Amino acid sequence: MTPPLPALLDQIHTEAQALYGKGRVADYIPALGEVPPRQFGMAVALVSGESHTVGDAQVPFSLQSITKLFTFVIALKLMGEGLWQRVGREPSGAAFNSIVQLETENGIPRNPFINAGALVITDILTSRYAHLDYALLGALRRLADEPNLHWNPRVAKSERDTAHRNMAMAYFMKSHGNFQNAPELVLDNYCRQCATEMNCQQLAQATLFLANGGRDLAMDGQPDELFLGADDTRRVNALLLTCGAYDAAGDFAYRIGLPVKTGVGGGIVAVVPGVGTVAVWSPELDAKGNSVLGAFALERLVALTGWGHTTL
């Protein structure tokens, strides 16, 4: 008999402490390099409406690449199948900030979750929204049922000041006709997007629609609201499984077996279709840019619950 979920989270929290010091914070973005490394939080939100947390699950952190999931969903809702004319849906097998594939593939990024792909998505949304940061925050506030979400201007500036490679990719894609707006404007929007902050509990709640057939779990006894169609929800989860963990996506699929999106702020969100979502955060990263403790925690949770074997 499987122990209750709170007991499992306590067990994972205890076991994870042994991994402190195995990674390092994302110090190539100076503001993120100042984050105290020995922190760990975990939250589970279930489609039943139940939720559980452990550790530093209420501490806000920089979402970074996890925001690529939300901007991709917004763009998919706007453009439908036309989106795939500007970005692919294949694993890259290269680092998240690699420029090499753009040269051989005519400025079309492999998928929406590497930096080049996310820049194209941000370019699309920049053409649609005068204030993309407000549009994104509006969607996140609705999904998380939290009106006080914001992006951190200090982190955004730190990221923008060091965004030379991203700028190079933007100009390269513009030279191939796959960029409509000024790269400087898109980079401003992209860095504000990445600087969005949430905690584990809010992130688990905000992604619950992906475990619930595209329906946003309503509060106060109201009926669930359709946020994304069921077919598109299935497709988003498929892309998260194959492309959501940078060039470690195959390793994550093997070890964890769930759709995930990771970020260099130390967060990871995982989707258990039909069951719920799991958000973990610990800022020490491995060489691929993924949270060391976060990956361990998800692997242990899947092993202890069997979720990865019964839902995909």
Check the annotation: does 166 bind a ligand.
yes
Residue 222 confidence class, pLDDT cut points 50, 70, 90: low
Catalytic residue among 54, 73, 260, 264: 264
Indicate if 190 belongs to the active site: yes
- For residue 221, the model assigns a pLDDT of 60
pLDDT at position 99: 83
Under the phi-then-psi rule, with left for phi > 0, alpha for psi from -120 to 50, and beta for the rest, what region is 220? left
Reduced 3-state DSSP string for the chain? CCCCHHHHHHHHHHHHHHHCCCCECCCCCHHHHCCCCCCCEEEEEECCCCEEEEECCCCCEECHHHHHHHHHHHHHHHHHHHHHHCCCCCCCCCCCCCCHHHHHCCCCCCCCCCHHHHHHHHHHHHHHCCCHHHHHHHHHHHHHCCCCCEECHHHHHHHHHCCHHHHHHHHHHHHCCCCCCCHHHHHHHHHHHHCEEECHHHHHHHCHHHHCCCEECCCCCCCCEECCCHHHHHHHHHHHHHHCCHHHHHHHHHHCCCCEEECCCCEEEEEECCCEEEEEECCCECCCCCEHHHHHHHHHHHHHHCHHHHCC
Residue 311 has pLDDT above 60, yes or no: no
Buried b (16+ CB within 10 A) or exposed e, 274-298: ebbbbbbbbbbbeebbbbbbbbbbb
Q: Is 246 considered catalytic here?
A: yes
Out of 47, 54, 68, 158, the active site residue is 68
Catalytic status, residue 264: yes
Distance, in Å, from the CA atom of 296 to the CA atom of 303, rounded to the nearest integer, reads 11
What average pLDDT does range 276-288 have in this prediction?
Answer: 97
Q: Is 212 annotated as a binding residue?
A: no
Q: Is 190 annotated as a binding residue?
A: yes
Structure token digits, residue 108: 């079309």
User: 51: annotated binding-site residue?
Assistant: no
Find the farthest-apart pair of alpha carbons in the chain and give their distance in angstroms, rounded: 59
Per annotation, catalytic residue among 246, 269, 272, 278: 246
pLDDT at 97 over 80: no
Q: List the catalytic residue out of 65, 92, 158, 282.
A: 65
Q: What is the residue extent of each domain of the chain?
A: 5-306
pLDDT at 79: 96
CATH code given to domain 5-306: 3.40.710.10
Q: Are strands 196-198 and 150-151 parallel, antiparallel or unpaired?
A: antiparallel
List pLDDT tens digits, range 129-180: 999 999 999 999 999 999 999 999 999 999 999 999 999 999 999 999 999 9
Residue 97 labelled as part of a binding site: no
Mean per-residue pLDDT for 101-128? Answer: 94
Residue 282 labelled as part of a binding site: no
Q: What's the average model confidence in pLDDT over 205-214?
A: 97
Residue 65 annotated as part of some ligand binding site: yes
pLDDT reported for residue 312: 44
- Rounded to the nearest integer, the mean pLDDT of the chain is 94
Q: Could you tell me the two tokens for 56? A: 């530093």
